[in-house]
C-alpha cells in the first residue's frame, strides 16, 4: 500500500473497473491514477462512457469490484464512511417527505436527536434559501430547489468529502450557475474536499482546482490540469477562464 501525504484526501493508484454486460466483459476504467488534496476541489470530465460516474461510485464505497488502490484519508475506501456524502443527478428525494424531512434523512438514519437535527439543519436551510420552503413536498419545488434540498441533506452530515454526480445537468443555465456559485461559497468556508463529475467544460473549470480528463470507453487518464484561479472573483469573465476552456476542450478533442 502507498503512503499518502498527510494533506491528501483521495489517492487513486492504477484503478481499473470492468463488469459483465450481456455476456461480454466491458471495461469502464483502466489504470487511472490521481490525488485530491484535503480541502481541494476536483472536476472529473470526459465523454459519455468514460467511466466518470463509475469512478465516483468507487470513491463513495458503493462499488467495490475494482482493481488497483483507492485510499480516503490514507485508508482503503469502504462502504458507509460517515464523512463522505454523495449527491446524485436525480436529487434522491423521497416524494412523500417534505423538504425538512428529506434534508434531515441522513441524520435521522444515524439516530441524531430532533433537537440536534434542528440545530444542524436550520442554518443550512437558511443559507440555501430553503427555510421558507421547509414544509413543501418535492413535487411543489423547482428543479433548483430540489437540488438545493439534496445539497442540504449532504451538508447536514458535515462531510469532509463531498461527491457530486452531474448535479446541475438538468437545470437551466442561470439556475445552474447560481448553484455552482453557492457550492463554491460553501466549499470556501470550510475544509471540505469536493469531487464533481460533469459533462460541462465551463462547470469543470469554475469548480475544479484540479481537472481530471478521461478518455472515451474505457476511461483512461488523458490529463490532470491544474486550475489555480478557482474562487477568484469574476473568474468566469476573465481571459484566463477562456484560455483554460480552450485547453481542456483541446485535450478532449485530441482523442475524439
pLDDT tens for residues 45-91?
A: 998 888 899 999 999 999 888 999 999 999 999 888 889 998 887 77
Mean pLDDT within 135-148? 91
Q: Is the pLDDT of residue 120 over 80?
A: yes
Mean pLDDT within 218-228? 94
What pLDDT was estimated at residue 45? 95
Say if residues 49 and 256 touch (Cβ distance below 8 Å): no
Listed in sequence order, the residues at least 6 apart from 124 whose beta carbon sits closer than 8 Å to its beta carbon are 103, 152, 155, 156
What pLDDT was estimated at residue 166? 86
Residue 143 confidence class, pLDDT cut points 50, 70, 90: confident
Residue 3 confidence class, pLDDT cut points 50, 70, 90: low
What pLDDT was estimated at residue 196? 93
Percent of the chain with pLDDT over 70: 96
What pLDDT was estimated at residue 69? 95
What pTM was estimated for this model as a whole? 0.89
Output phi, psi for 78, to 5 deg.
Answer: -145, 155
CA neighbor of 170 nearest in space, from 87, 256, 86: 87
Any idea where the domains of the chain sit in the sequence? 94-158
Mean pLDDT within 88-106? 88
CA distance 143 to 146: 5
Residue 118 confidence class, pLDDT cut points 50, 70, 90: very high
Taking all residues of the chain, what is their mean pLDDT, rounded to a whole number?
A: 89
Q: From the centroid of its chain, how far is CA 2?
A: 24
Percent of the chain with pLDDT over 90: 57
The residue to which cell 414544509 is assigned: 135
Q: Is the pLDDT of residue 4 over 80?
A: no
The residue to which cell 491514477 is assigned: 33
What pLDDT was estimated at residue 24? 77
Mean pLDDT within 204-218? 93
Amino acid at each position: 500500500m502507498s503512503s499518502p501525504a498527510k494533506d491528501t484526501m483521495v489517492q487513486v493508484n492504477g484503478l481499473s473497473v470492468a463488469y459483465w454486460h450481456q455476456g461480454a466483459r466491458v471495461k469502464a476504467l483502466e489504470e487511472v491514477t490521481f490525488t485530491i488534496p484535503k480541502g481541494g476541489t476536483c472536476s472529473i470530465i470526459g465523454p459519455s462512457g468514460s467511466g466518470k460516474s463509475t469512478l465516483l461510485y468507487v470513491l463513495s464505497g458503493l462499488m467495490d469490484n475494482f482493481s488497483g488502490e483507492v485510499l480516503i484519508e490514507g485508508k482503503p475506501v469502504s462502504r458507509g464512511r460517515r464523512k463522505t456524502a454523495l449527491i446524485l443527478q436525480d436529487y434522491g428525494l423521497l416524494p412523500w417527505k417534505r423538504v425538512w424531512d428529506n434534508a434531515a434523512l441522513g441524520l435521522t438514519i444515524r439516530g441524531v436527536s430532533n433537537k440536534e437535527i434542528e440545530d444542524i439543519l436550520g442554518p443550512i436551510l437558511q443559507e440555501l434559501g430553503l427555510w421558507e420552503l421547509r414544509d413543501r413536498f418535492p413535487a411543489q419545488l423547482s428543479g433548483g430547489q430540489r437540488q438545493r434540498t439534496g445539497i442540504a441533506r449532504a451538508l447536514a452530515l458535515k462531510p469532509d468529502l463531498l461527491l457530486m454526480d452531474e448535479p446541475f445537468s438538468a437545470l437551466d443555465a442561470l439556475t445552474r450557475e447560481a448553484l455552482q456559485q453557492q457550492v463554491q461559497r460553501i466549499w470556501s468556508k470550510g475544509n471540505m474536499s469536493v469531487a464533481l463529475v460533469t459533462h460541462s467544460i465551463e462547470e469543470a473549470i469554475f469548480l475544479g482546482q484540479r481537472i481530471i480528463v478521461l478518455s472515451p470507453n474505457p476511461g483512461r487518464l488523458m490529463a490532470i490540469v491544474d486550475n489555480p484561479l478557482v474562487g477568484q472573483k469574476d473568474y468566469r469573465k476573465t481571459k484566463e477562464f477562456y484560455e483554460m476552456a480552450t485547453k481542456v476542450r483541446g485535450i478532449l478533442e485530441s482523442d475524439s
